[in-house]
Every structure is written in C-alpha cells, then in structure tokens.
Amino acid sequence: MGIQITPSILNADFAHLGEEVARIPGADWVHVDVMDNHFVPNLTFGPTMVEALSRATSVPLDAHLMIEDPDREAMAYVEAGCRSVTFHVEAAKAPVRLARQLRSAGVRASMALKPATPIEPYEDLLPELDTVLVMTVEPGFGGQPFLDLCLPKIRRTRALIERHGGQIWLQVDGGISPQTIERCAEAGADVFVAGSAVYSAENPDAMVTHLRALAEAACSG
C-alpha cells in the first residue's frame, strides 16, 4: 500500500472547494472534516456539500465524522459519494455494527481515537476495521500544534495491527507537517492527514509530494 497523503480541506477556501481540491492532484485521498458543533465545538460540512464535492473531483473522499451520532448519520456520507467513512469510537454506540454496515456498502470502515483514548480496549474491533485514525490533536479545529504524547500510542497501535495481520491502515491527523511527519512514520503510521501544511504552502501539490518523500524516507531509514 505504501505511504498515503490525505490533505484536509478544513483549511481550504470553503467557497471554492472544487478548485481547492484541483490544486492537489497528487493527493491519495481528500479528508473531509464533518463537525456538528456538539461532539466538537465547530460546525463544517454536511452530506449535501460532500456530495457536491464528490462530483467535482476524482480523488476519493474520506469523511471524518466528528459528530454526536455517527450510527445514524454515517450512511448519508456513503450515499454522498465517500469511499471511506471514519467514526469516533467515543461517539459510536454500536461500533461493530457500524463498521459492518460501512463495509457492506463497499466503503472503508475507519475508527478514530481522540488523543486521550487508548487503543488497547478496542483491540478486538480491529478485524472489523480497514483503518484506525489516531488523532494527534484534539479534534475540532485546524492549525493546532502536534501532540508528541500521541507517538507511543501510534507505536502501540501499529503493534496491535501487526498482531492481527497488518492489513489495516494506520492514519494520523493533527499538526502533520514537514517537522512532524517523519516521527509519525517512524512510529508506524502510513496514512497522513495534513491541512494547514498543504493549504498554507505556495504550491499545495508540491507540499503533498514533499510530505510523501519525507515519510517514505523515514520508513526506509
């Protein structure tokens, strides 16, 4: 599978999302942060805007649901055209059922963990998942500084994934930049969400390429 770079459009120009995604043709995925102003103190996209974005790009969309009721809302993002849907285990009432619903619909099922949420209680869920997302900032706002305290959890999550066959992607999200991506790659992450670093760059697609090269070098070093 290799290293994947997934720019977040949270830091893009919301009024011109189609054009903003067109600026990152080298991206593997587009990360869509869905916030409901309840689970996190911010309000962003809903299914209608995600559906419009899916029609405007051929880059696959990953909806990161930072919402209070993912069990009820997740399938709307499948219908909107997302190829991967990420739910927070802190919010999901029936995470196994939700993961199976997503997989049965033909999309990747991803489970996200906030910085203070340990991975170990959810080891038995790993066979139901395609991706685990370790948040490296508190969810809710872009541009936050990377939390180094999450690096040991990334390593522990990688070890658990390897124990279960190693087919699950390990994604990190929050404060990912040229200054932090190598540490995450060394710890075992292979999918990297970067928002501010990409969209504050003069050439966002060149930054995608640069981040991928740094992560690949860290993995092979």
β-partners of residue 171 are 133, 191
Q: For residue 118, give both structure tokens.
A: 């340990």
Task: Give the 3-state secondary structure of residue 75.
Answer: helix
28, 36, 62, 173: the catalytic one is 173
33, 36, 62, 190: the catalytic one is 33
Query: What phi, psi does 28 have (nearest 5°)?
Result: -85, -35
Nearest by Cα to 21 from 64, 66, 65, 54: 54
Burial environment of residue 29 by CB neighbours within 10 A (0 to 12, 13 to 18, 19 or more): buried
User: Which residues neighbour 26 within 8 Å (Cβ) at sequence distance 6 or greater?
Assistant: 5, 205, 208, 209, 212
- Residues across the chain: 221
- Is 13 a residue of the active site? no
- Is 62 a residue of the active site? no
Q: Which residues are catalytic?
A: 33, 173
